[in-house]
Structure 1
């Protein structure tokens, strides 16, 4: 049997097939990894289980792999029919005889009843209609409760049903093997088989050239503590009964955590459980915080709660201890600020003060509500400055490209397998500690801005599109990096890269929204609309940038209505209505300002694919008409220049905007604008019309729609409609 998957790519359907026994191949790949790399992480029971698997015939191994690929705890035997397994019943019998698979018994009656479908439950209960009162229309949950109550006294009655199922006992051993490979447990459809399937289909990112898988744990204690904590993480995620939080909290609290990753996970679980239990069992909740080891969030919560309870001397002493020896910059900022406000009568937090006292107040057209960063971007662009929407991506990509070899090639903590794309050394938080010499040598090679840029470009060219877990590759990735490197102080760049290597987990995010280049000088803007607040991770990062010499502004936005707004009314024609694989065939643009048309522009576009006949009948645009027309990549620059600094207007705006945004991204250009929909505005301005299609509105208002479904004609009519809407609004 060939499992077939259809993949959509650029509108074309590619058919990919997996071999008949791909599940078995993936199953064996995992077992081979465990036996070759992880024997020191196994208990005797695990080794015995592997030995039993290896003694099975191929058909039985196929069946076991198929059972373990299922999600439910109970699997109906008759559903396990696969073409590659010639005798399913024999394979199941062999697995039962080997003691690997089991039928449910009387102890499993509750799980069995919950597993049944509603029709099966109704049929089962109907056999006992003289003893049980129920309604067939009842919800499944109610029927399960009725069945459980009845069969609790006579679970042996379910024996015929039990024989139709096998228990999916993957969690006994096999789940642990998957964990050793992946380093985490995932709920739902994500398991190792699916991971390998996605790899084989080319649908998931893997590290190219990864030749050998390695064990990610050094000791059995480390592996098992991480495994059990991951099981608790999934249990917490799936809790439905609040009483279960107490039991889980008690288990997590006493669970040993070996290794930095386990400690961090246990801390996160304890804090999450604290939040669930603080109003239920305050004493237990506080003990959870006490159980955290070197955790900033837990310490902050403790201080706030103790202050609320009136233990001010304890709080003051704790704050002073943190300031003397802070765990992180973030915790230091909290402690310093809390001490000043609660004990030294400071009225505002530093975060509030920074925002309130900023000298950078910008008046931005209220049409940018919801797109405030773009509004500030356009504000500076109109002043002739170069502006980049950078936020975290700028620094994460610079960091990754500068230290690519140290993170991915020459790391003492290499990726454990081809699916590991996030550097293990960053997860452990000891990058600088483990590789100080290599880091310093790498930075010492960057004696000039050009040398630093050359290093970045070299690594980008060599490793382009390789998954890395730090940033996403884009065709224009180097443009803002080049602007940053060539317009900044080299000393500041090196100093901040050093700080990131030492404290990556603290400095991986919280970066300002925009980078602005003005007269060869870089400064950064953290944009805040009215009502926005600064976050503490932003304060940490901004302070670090300032401390090494970068100029950072907090840009407080003040909304106003710009009387000089320019509206770019756009219409496009396409090869079809869905963005999936369809392309633009024509663009029309009409610019409006002060109630007048100030510019028009149009172009046919070669969609690089066939235009269907029904589209030609609708628009009049044929393959021959666009044969010599420019492709979108050739018109994108003049189009973006025309649209710059204006509001994107269209009739059903998300259609036109969405197509243009997608085409821009395909051509390697970022596209984001404030937008307005004349359908929405028409409904507000002209209530009660039967239809708000452009054709109907043109007829109703006698608009100049000369050639419907041609881009410039539709854009012209839409521009006239926009003017009518504005006149209606001004007369109200």
Structure 2
């Protein structure tokens, strides 16, 4: 049976401890086999600490870094002096009160006013002024103090100790197995992930776990270290040998692709073009392919770029990829005397212009909505919410299918692999069943059932305040299922790119029982505004599919304000 933890009450002053215990309990319950015995024993020992000691350790773990000044640990909610809780943590080997410190660590922990008297003589002897800013003072002293030393050797024996967490790597490993990433901090978890939201219950089984082996956790940690080195400015050439080999784990392979994309970017910025080409070519990230081709162009390796681009053209592409690839092939064809691929001909985008009084309040979209509204043809400002919402309601069970690497804990807004390239492929059979509902007419019942049963539950596609009963019923009554299928299939080609760019307004014609269209979408552009690329691509798609859509260009009447 799946024991689903609850969320902590933020009115509880020790809410953060409750959340930490939730994390540790979840990991021990679902991932104990991925921990070595020493780690399991250590986490069990955490549970045996007194409440004040557990709370103080949790506070330190959730803060940045591993070093803390004992005199700055002030948490009145502990109920005992911090020194009492700290003594218990020292006894249990959770913290060390005598770490050696580098001069950089010392400068991070202490203020300029505290450090100036300590180094005044050294600075004076070296000919530096006494009033150097902190950063300049550190630069001036760094070469003279290359080695780490105990705090007493830096500041004398009268100062309060510095505390170092002894098992931060274990807490990072636990955080990774709970979140599925190390991007989210403990504070994110406390303040955001466990907010007062309703989450879709996902069945957690051993087979649905993202990590099946301890080596896979180690692989993630190795990739995370590579990314940190890149972020810290370590040259890409030095990081490249440390990038782990490819993995059979699909979601870890996706993370490796993103690492290689970033390494390639930095290698290119650093002038190491050959390494950039290697990195772009070694990964499978969709952005890497265009970057590889553009770099080959800049290096005048046109024949090589032509071969890669020609092979890639035969694959299924998103609109942005197809557009970028077509431009590259056209340029290469002219240089190589090759025949460029035929340009795709798109029907023209429909346009019309309205001249309206400028509203005293509100947006241009609302002004157009109010102008076009008729009781028999209502107009709603939905932008990216309606089509996404209908998709989310139809495919709810598929979106929350417990695919390995999709869900790590019970508090997900949506699957972690939502924007990965294999998101659809890993759920293809389930998506096929959703589209079958559009074809056999059962989609209305499925959408309405999910709408009623999951009202208020988080979903990455559904914005509940916008999907009202009125809008939903009009949409289901006026938008043909064949159109919904076209829209949803395009959305799935590239979720990251295609779930934005929809027109601002939708106008329904519920009384139109003839064969004509019963809805139309309208993109609104105020004076000086223009269409963006992703909006143009959607409008071209609508035109090509025969879906009624247009652009409304608004002009303001001179010296008239609409009250």
Q: TM-score range by the shorter chain?
A: 0.7 to 0.9
In 2, distance between residues paired with 1:196 and 1:281?
Answer: 42
RMSD: 4.3
Distance in 1 of aligned mates of 2:48 and 2:350: 75
Alignment match of 1:46 (pick from 26, 32, 39): 39
Q: What is the distance in 1 between the residues matched to 2:488 and 2:42?
A: 48
- Choose 1 or 2 for highest CA Rg: 1
Tell me how far apart the structure 2 counterparts of residues 317 and 486 of structure 1 sit (CA, whole Å).
49
Corresponding residue of 1:550: 547
2:23 to 20, 27, 30: 30
> Given the alignment, which residue of 235, 260, 264 partners 1:270?
260
Equivalent-residue separation in structure 2 for 1:224 and 1:538 (angstroms): 42
Structure 1: unaligned runs, 5 residues or longer: 1-14, 568-645, 649-732
SS at match of 1:423: coil
Deviations 1:252-275 (A, max 9, x none): 645655533333333334334444
Give yes or no for contact 1:236–1:248 (8 Å, CA) kept in 2.
no
**Count of residues in Structure 1 that have an aligned counterpart in Structure 2:** 537
The separation in 1 between residues aligned to 2:537 and 2:251, in whole angstroms, is 23
**Which residue does the alignment assign to 2:220?**
226
Structure 1: distance between partners of 2:119 and 2:106:
14
Distance across 2 between alignment mates of 1:282 and 1:16: 50
Between the aligned partners of 2:490 and 2:350, the Cα distance in structure 1 is 28
Q: What is the CA distance between 1:321 and its match in structure 2?
A: 0.8
Selected match of 1:391 from 383, 397, 404:
383
* Deviation string, structure 1 residues 267-323 (Cα, Å, up to 9, x no partner): 334334444442422335524543542222111122122223322222222222112
Aligned with residue 524 of structure 1, among 518, 521, 526? 521
Q: For the structure 1 residues 196 and 282, does the alpha-carbon distance in structure 2 shift closer, same or farther, using more than 3 Å as the test?
A: closer
Stretch of structure 1 that moved more, 246-255 or 516-525: 246-255
In structure 2, the residue corresponding to 1:75 is in which secondary structure? strand
Say which of 132, 137, 150 aligns to 1:138: 132
Contact 1:403 1:442 in 2 (8 A): yes
**Cα distance 1:348–1:373, how it changes in 2: closer, same or farther (>3 A)?**
farther
Q: Determine helix, strand or coil for the equivalent of 2:102.
A: helix
Answer yes or no: is 1:304 the counterpart of 2:294. Answer: yes
2:505 aligned with 1:514, yes or no? yes
- Contact preservation (8 Å) 1:464, 1:473: yes
Closer/same/farther in 2, CA of residues 446 and 234 from structure 1, 3 Å limit: same
2:154 maps to 1:158: yes
Q: In the alignment, which residue of structure 2 is the partner of 1:66? A: 59
Q: Would you say 1:465 and 2:456 are equivalent positions?
A: yes
**Aligned pair in 2 of structure 1 residues 397, 173: CA closer, same or farther (>3 Å)?**
same
Confirm or deny that 1:186 pairs with 2:177.
no
How far apart in 2 are the matches of 1:309 and 1:372? Answer: 46
Partner-residue secondary structure (3-state), 1:510: coil
- Judging changes above 3 Å, is the alpha-carbon distance between structure 1 residues 489 and 198 closer, same or farther for their aligned structure 2 residues? closer
Q: Could you say what secondary structure the match of 1:18 adopts?
A: coil
Closer, same or farther: CA 143–509 of 1 in aligned 2, 3 Å: same
After superposition, what is the alpha-carbon deviation per residue over 1:16-41, rounded to whole angstroms, capped at 9, x for unaligned?
A: 6315x444433332222222211233
Change (3 A) 1:337 1:556: farther
> CA–CA distance in 1 between the matches of 2:20 and 2:470?
44
Larger relative contact order (C-alpha < 8 A, sep ≥ 6)?
A: 2
Shift of 1:76: 0.9
1:110 to 104, 112, 132: 104
- Answer yes or no: is the 8 Å Cα contact 1:210–1:418 preserved in 2: yes
Q: Find the aligned partners of 1:78 and 1:275 in 2 and give their Cα distance.
A: 44
Corresponding residue number in structure 2 for 1:95: 89
Select between 397-406 and 79-88 the one with higher mean Cα deviation: 79-88
Q: Is the 8 A contact 1:104 1:163 kept in 2?
A: no
Contact preservation (8 Å) 1:388, 1:515: yes
Distance 1:485 1:154 in 2: 69
Who is 2:4 aligned against? none
Distance 1:255 1:115 in 2: 38
* Cα distance between partner residues in 2 of 1:318 and 1:245: 28
Q: Check whether the contact 1:60–1:95 (CA below 8 A) recurs between aligned residues.
A: yes
SS at match of 2:384: helix
Matched, 1:172 2:166: no
Unmatched 5+ residue regions in structure 2? Answer: 1-8
**Match in the other structure for 1:417:** 409
CA displacement at 1:527 relative to structure 2: 4.9
Which deviates more from structure 2 when the two are superposed, residues 208-217 or residues 327-336? 208-217
1:233-312 paired onto structure 2 within 5 Å: 233=227, 236=230, 239=232, 243-246=233-236, 249-250=239-240, 253-254=243-244, 256=246, 259-283=249-273, 285-287=275-277, 289-312=279-302
Could you say if the C-alpha distance between residues 269 and 371 of structure 1 is closer, same or farther in structure 2, counting changes exceeding 3 Å?
A: farther
SS of 2:479 mapped into structure 1: coil
**TM-score calculated relative to the size of structure 1:** 0.62
Matches within 5 A, 1:300-699: 300-326=290-316, 328=318, 330-340=320-330, 342-343=332-333, 358-362=349-353, 364=355, 373-374=365-366, 377=369, 380-381=372-373, 386-408=378-400, 411-412=402-403, 415-424=407-416, 426-427=418-419, 430=422, 432-445=424-437, 452-474=443-465, 476-498=467-489, 500=491, 504-505=495-496, 507-517=498-508, 521-527=518-524, 532-535=530-533, 537-538=534-535, 541-542=538-539, 545=542, 549-553=546-550, 555=551, 557=553, 560=555, 562-563=557-558, 566-567=560-561, 646=562
Using the TM superposition, give the Cα deviation of residue 341 of structure 1 relative to its aligned residue in structure 2, in angstroms: 5.3
Q: Is the 8 Å Cα contact of residues 329 and 341 (structure 2) preserved in structure 1?
A: no
- Tell me the SS of whatever aligns to 2:219: helix
Question: Which of 68, 71, 84 does residue 75 from structure 1 map onto?
Answer: 68
The whole-number CA distance in structure 2 between the counterparts of 1:487 and 1:388 is 14
Q: C-alpha distance in 2, partners of 1:219/1:329?
A: 38
3-state SS, counterpart of residue 473 of structure 1? coil
TM-aligned CA deviation for residue 234 of structure 1: 5.3
